[in-house]
Chain A
Amino acid sequence: MRVLAAMSGGVDSAVAAARLRDAGHDVTGVHLALSAKPATMREGARGCCSVEDSRDARRCADVLDIPFYVWDMAARFRDDVVEPFVAEYAAGRTPNPCLRCNEKIKFSAVLERARALGFDAVGTGHYARLSSGGVLRRAADPDKDQSYVLGVLRPDQLSGAIFPLGASPKTEVRAEAAERGLVVAEKPDSHDICFIPSGDTRGFLGERIDDAPGEMVDTAGEVVGHHRGVHDFTVGQRHGLGIRRPAPDGRPRYVLSLEPVSRTVRVGPAEELDVTVLHCAAPVWLGEVPTDCVVQVRAHGGLSAATVRVVDDGVDVALAEPLRGVAPGQAAVFYRPDSGGDVVLGSATIAATSR
């Protein structure tokens, strides 16, 4: 097959490209330039969109002896990932930009362009297992599993995807990179949101969203503080609430909900964060709509057995065990437990929750 290997400049995508080549595919490496103004070497910045990452990716492609190009996806990334990210926060929701990037950029804009240019598939360094029949499963390495951020992909998107690392533990991938002479073998994993290399999400949002000050109220309806905008908060957040008075019972308070219209941040005790029903919109199914399954509500953790019921505008998901701190805007990804790796059944966007 002719495969386009998306190369971020990290160790995972470099090894993925190497394995694709070794498997006999005709591989071309592409680095996606996602920032309109990439940080230069001179600034010494690191982050997903830096010139240094582009260089690292090129260096690996050269060692693998595959053609390498940089594709400018900055405008698409801004329109389809960064701006919706900001808008979601402004609307009191908590988006996952990696998931959106997979859905709208890597396996949409990039895949479409690759197909038009004569490629059969896009290969990435994601940790997930994908069979030729389009069955997506969790990775063998539970710590690295990224099936959650791929769970939003439609069957036609998955049919053009290859994930060569799904069966490998990360340690093995690093060792393989070193063995292959790839200079990125020791490069640290990226953790932050790639377009916020400083890690200061609140600062990033503060520069892009106008202040919309409002009240912070407790479960009794009493005003306990003020805030400059709901975008400063995430459901389940404990620190940085700016409440001077302690709660009467002395227990910590958490953000329970965000109401952008009334500009209200509701806070309360931890147990009030427990929810038992997720109201989800825009479901995507990879097969039959399941009834009993396991749902995951955030990138790491947040799992419960669940029952899915189709309703007019989406699905209601009844949780067997309450989940704490479920933020609207995040994706619910549905799995069928399987000893060969839990199978992704589909996904939906969490619109609201109830206790």
Chain B
Amino acid sequence: MTYLDHAATTPMLPEAAATLTEALGRVGNASSLHSAGRRARRAVEESRETIAEAVGALPSEVVLATGGTEADNLALKGLYWARRAADPRRTRVVVSAAEHHAVLDAGEWLAEHEDAVLDVLPVDPEGRADPAALKALLADHGDEVAVVSVMWANNEVGTVNDVAALAEVAHSCGVPIHTDAVQAVGAVPVDFAASGVDALSLTGHKLGGPVGVGALLLRRDAACTPLLHGGGQERDVRSGTLDVPGTMSLATAVRAAVADVSRRTTVLTALRDDLVARVVTAVPDARLNGVPLDRPGERLPGNAHLSFPGCEGDSLLMLLDARGIECSTGSACTAGVARPSHVLLAMGLDEDLARGSLRFSLGHNSTAADVDAVVEAIGPVVERARRAGDALARS
């Protein structure tokens, strides 16, 4: 089996799995006062310190949550509510057009239910949010904006934003900024403090940790209204009994993944570049979406996103799956129907080309054999998918 869908989820690192399974056998609520509770609390706090150190944050800035979706929702809604409460004129929410649905839909929800005005920041043909565009928007509406959210790295085409520049623009207008760094942590260098952002989402299962645990890094001076009310855990921002084994495993994975970024970048960039070059040789009219490979720092090392003119993405997916190659078409709606990706459309691709796209995402255990398998399959698969596309157009 050739697994090239690491951006969807990546296999757990053996050390993270070991931490998790070992901890599952122990009792202890980290809020309890007795010794089991104290042991649990110590494990959580040490994990929190590990995570903080790996991503350039203070331990007190780590708000544990269930993953990227919760962290994104908490950031968008929490920062919006708090900022609007402090200054009722601030009702605008700014997100980039290439955001994950966890951000986009949270913004839309605020517009529908909380009287917010949603401003969607366009992205350039490479999928990048332009700091100048944010600056222009804030020049007109700076005192009305409650929160800005722009992802660190895009989940579909792998484009890495200049988050520090965006943060500087937002702060010049007194606006807090959140970044969804779910795809970035463990893949590219991420330093929370140096980036200047007020909030950052990360999740375990994209970097070799378990599903169901993640964190929102939240600066102490960023006011954030909670989504969940209860026992007051996590600075009262995120109530709920702490997941001790999950947190310990998350910390193990974050530490290992971040420590390995430089080595992985070298390995995955080489594999990815090889994959793209050989796929384009096999299918000459295939085109790479996102940032060109000669600017590696602006693209996630493991991401190869390609369009195949005349093909339906789900035909390609099915044919590759039948050959044991697992990849992704990008976004799927709840019914499992492939829709043209909003990211690709925002980048200016036409609908047909957007539909005929595949994302191959490499990760920590990808090998040259995985690339060979894709290269071997892609020619006949594309040819067959084209015939199916023609048949559909004809019938």
Question: Given A69-B318, A71-B314, A117-B315 in contact, is the A51-B334 Cβ separation under 8 Å?
Answer: yes
Check B384 against A28 for contact (C-beta < 8 Å): no
Check A113 against B335 for contact (C-beta < 8 Å): no
B315 to chain A, nearest CB (A): 6
State whether the Cβ of B385 lies closer than 8 Å to any Cβ in chain A: yes
> In chain B between 324 and 340, which residues have their CB closer than 8 angstroms to a CB of chain A?
334-339
- Our pick among B314, B335, B388, B394 for the contact of A38 (Cβ within 8 Å) is B335
State whether the Cβ of B392 lies closer than 8 Å to any Cβ in chain A: yes
Q: Determine the interface band of chain A, counting residues with CB < 8 A from chain B.
A: 20 to 34
Question: Given A67-B321, A112-B394 in contact, is the A117-B334 Cβ separation under 8 Å?
Answer: no
What is the chain A residue whose CB lies nearest that of B387?
A: A116
> In chain B between 129 and 172, which residues have their CB closer than 8 angstroms to a CB of chain A?
none
Check A109 against B318 for contact (C-beta < 8 Å): no
Could you say which residues of chain A place their CB within 8 Å of the CB of B335? 33, 38, 51, 54, 70
State whether the Cβ of B319 lies closer than 8 Å to any Cβ in chain A: yes
State whether the Cβ of A118 lies closer than 8 Å to any Cβ in chain B: yes
State whether the Cβ of A40 lies closer than 8 Å to any Cβ in chain B: yes
- Our pick among A38, A40, A117 for the contact of B318 (Cβ within 8 Å) is A117
A117 to chain B, nearest CB (A): 5
Check A31 against B392 for contact (C-beta < 8 Å): no
Check A116 against B391 for contact (C-beta < 8 Å): yes
B contacts with A, residue count (CB < 8 A): 23
- Our pick among A40, A58, A108 for the contact of B336 (Cβ within 8 Å) is A58
State whether the Cβ of A72 lies closer than 8 Å to any Cβ in chain B: yes
Check A113 against B392 for contact (C-beta < 8 Å): yes
Check B394 against A72 for contact (C-beta < 8 Å): no
State whether the Cβ of B390 lies closer than 8 Å to any Cβ in chain A: yes
- Our pick among A58, A70, A116 for the contact of B337 (Cβ within 8 Å) is A70
- Our pick among A51, A74, A112, A118 for the contact of B392 (Cβ within 8 Å) is A112
Check A109 against B392 for contact (C-beta < 8 Å): yes
What is the chain B residue whose CB lies nearest that of A118?
A: B384
Cross-chain pairs A/B with CB under 8 angstroms, 5 sampled: A69-B318, A70-B338, A109-B392, A109-B395, A117-B315
Question: Which 7 A-B residue pairs are closest in the complex by CB-CB distance?
Answer: A116-B388, A70-B336, A116-B391, A112-B395, A112-B391, A116-B387, A33-B337
Q: Besides the contacts A109-B392, A116-B392, what 11 more A-B pairs have beta carbons closer than 8 Å?
A: A33-B335, A51-B335, A70-B336, A72-B337, A109-B395, A112-B395, A113-B315, A115-B391, A116-B388, A117-B318, A117-B388
A-to-B contact residues, CB < 8 Å: 28, 31, 33, 38, 40-41, 51, 54, 58, 67, 69-72, 74, 108-109, 112-113, 115-118
